[in-house]
Amino acid sequence: MKAYKKAVAVSDWVKARNFREELNALTHQFWLQQETLLKAEQKAFTLLKDELTRTLE
């Protein structure tokens, strides 16, 4: 029974570690996407600003 409990504890630890690694990977992917969106927004803002500047000239 003691060996079974230890095996279950190890299994739970491995599951928790795998979950943590997957969560870290998803978090990293999320922040990369946020960075890409920010760059796209900055580019769109710059294009809009340039267009408005040309219109006002």
Residue pLDDT, tens place only, 1-57: 889 899 999 999 999 999 999 999 999 999 999 999 999 999 999 999 999 999 998
| Domain containing residue 7 | 1-57
- For the whole prediction, is pTM greater than 0.75? no
Interior angle at CA 16, CA 10 and CA 26, nearest 5: 150
Domains identified in the chain, total number: 1
